[in-house]
Amino acid sequence: MKILVTGAKGFVGQNLVASLMNIKENKDRTRDVVIDEIYQYDLGDEDKLDEYCKECDFVFNLAGVNRPKDQSEFMEGNFGFASTLLDTLKKYDNKCGVMLSSSIQATLLGRYAGSDYGKSKLAGEELFFDYARDNGSQVYVYRFPNLFGKWCRPNYNSAVATFCYNYAHDLDITVNDASVELELLYIDDLVNEMLDILEGKEHHCTFDGVDAIGCKDGKYCYVPTTYKVTLGKIVELLDLFKDQPHSLVMPEIPEGSFAKKLYSTYLSYLPKEKAIFPLKMNIDDRGSFTELLKTENCGQFSVNISKPGITKGQHWHHSKWEFFIVVSGHGLIQERKIGSDEVIEFEVSGDKIEAIHMLPGYTHNIINLSDTDNLVTVMWANESFDPNHPDTFFEKV
């Protein structure tokens, strides 16, 4: 299959082309489609449009104008190019499927009423539907809400991109009304939907005002997963993300959540100097102990380095429990139930990585058995350390 992507250098185009390239180069084997060629069309490639339209088997039309100097450019850049594209396909009698990226503003409802941008997008939609009726080609018209994700241009037409960029670069943001709600679509969800088209698994819908309603025979297509989030919530999450290198606390980012996708977006804007941050190492003559990561509800991760011959631990907990995972070196872990003389032992090594439970009510230690090498242990505790309630009591094994 030969794919034509117009607007290939734009936000959506870059992400789509990267995913198509992964399929073409057999790096992504999750898709049941073979891609032989990807034609990337953008401004400056006008002389290639004929060749691309003659050869392609599918078109993703992402080209368009978002922020022109003059409002009249909306119609020229959106409707005008769509017309040129379809005329060129007809010129070569190419009846391949064509996807159109439209906008929710094409509804011309509510705050979108009278929008020149919306009018140009609606005209493009009608052009595509007429083309499908007259030419017998399949068209897939998507009305996108606000988009966000990696590679989106800040200070352009995405509040999320601007907020993420400014937070990452310690710049101020302006929020006039924190209660304003946006409908947001994540770039990876959008790209997955576009790849679904190639497998005949696209989602169809009708519209009730500005809301997409899933419908098998719907005239339009849509991405089922979007998020309605207030500006205040976005700022609240970004505050947590920015503070993570200092607090070490990883906010809750459940699978499929807006928070998880926003965090990935925020990180994509970090400058080089913020891609690395120091951790506080507690160092003494026995080695070191460093907290790595804390979570809001699932404890914390640390790394312990013991010098040759050193014993660490020798304490117990009422309720707290831990995993000790030796990743380098050779050691011995001992545990003894409080009030008992029986000691259970586990010989551990980085050559055979295993997780050992530090049981509640058992005093425990870890001994470096090597005379020359450090013992490196990754530790997870079921709760973050609270100096006011440490639940840690000294007692030798």
**What integer pLDDT is reported at residue 77 of this predicted model?**
47
- φ, ψ (nearest 5 deg) of residue 320: -65, 140
Q: What does pTM read for this prediction? A: 0.92
Extract the residue ranges of the chain whose pLDDT is less than 50: 65, 67-68, 72-73, 75, 77
Half-sphere exposure of 388 (CA within 13 A, CB side): 0
Which fold would CATH assign to domain 2-144?
Answer: Rossmann fold (3.40.50)
Check residue 171 and give its pLDDT: 97
Give the pLDDT confidence score for residue 68 in this predicted structure. 46
DSSP class of residue 268? Answer: T
Query: Catalytic: 142?
Result: no
Report residue 36: phi and psi, to 5°: -95, -30
In the chain, domain spans: 2-144, 281-394
Which tens digits make up the pLDDT trace of 228-281? Answer: 999 999 999 999 999 999 999 999 999 999 999 999 999 999 999 999 999 999
CATH superfamily membership of 281-394: Jelly Rolls (2.60.120.10)
Which residue of the set 39, 52, 117, 165 is catalytic? 117
Distance CA 371, CA 247 (A): 36
What does R_g of the chain's alpha carbons equal in angstroms? 28
Count of C-beta atoms within a 10 Å radius of residue 191 = 19
Task: Determine the pLDDT at residue 311.
Answer: 98
Angle at 124 between CA 146 and CA 204, to 5 degrees: 60
Give residue 111's pLDDT. Answer: 86
Instruction: Give yes or no on whether 2-144 and 281-394 have one common fold.
Output: no
pLDDT the model gives residue 78 = 58
User: Can you give the pLDDT at residue 1?
Assistant: 96
Tell me what pLDDT residue 65 has.
47
The CA distance from 127 to 356, in Å, is: 65
